[in-house]
Amino acid sequence: MEDPVTVRNHRVSGNPKRIAGERAAELVDDGMIVGLGTGSTAFYAIQRLGERVREGLRIRGVPTSEQSRIQAERERIPLVDFAETTRIDLTIDGADEIDPAFNLIKGGGGALFREKLVATASLREIIVADESKLKDRLGAFPLPVEVVPFGWQFVQSKLEALGCRAALRVRENRTFSTDNGNHILDCAFGPIEAPEDLERRIAAICGVVESGLFVGLAHRIVIGNADGTLEERDRPQCGVDARRKT
The residues of the shown chain that bind ligand 5RP, judged by CB under 6 A, are 37-42, 93-96, 106-112, 115
Helix (H) or strand (E) holding 154: helix 152-160
- In the set 115, 125, 146, 232, the catalytic residue is 115
Nearest to 114 by CA among 68, 71, 54, 160: 68
Shortest reach from residue 14's CB to ligand 5RP, in Å: 15
Comparison of 132 and 153: residue with beta carbon closer to ligand 5RP: 132
Nearest to 126 by CA among 13, 22, 9, 2: 22
Comparison of 50 and 142: residue with beta carbon closer to ligand 5RP: 142
Nearest to 35 by CA among 76, 77, 7, 5: 77
DSSP helix/strand/coil, 186: strand
Shortest reach from residue 125's CB to ligand 5RP, in Å: 12
Verify whether residue 75 is a known catalytic residue. Answer: no
Shortest reach from residue 26's CB to ligand 5RP, in Å: 18
Comparison of 177 and 237: residue with beta carbon closer to ligand 5RP: 177
Put the strands of the sheet holding 165-168 in their side by side order: 165-168, 183-188, 143-147, 208-211
Instruction: Please list the active-site residues.
Output: 115
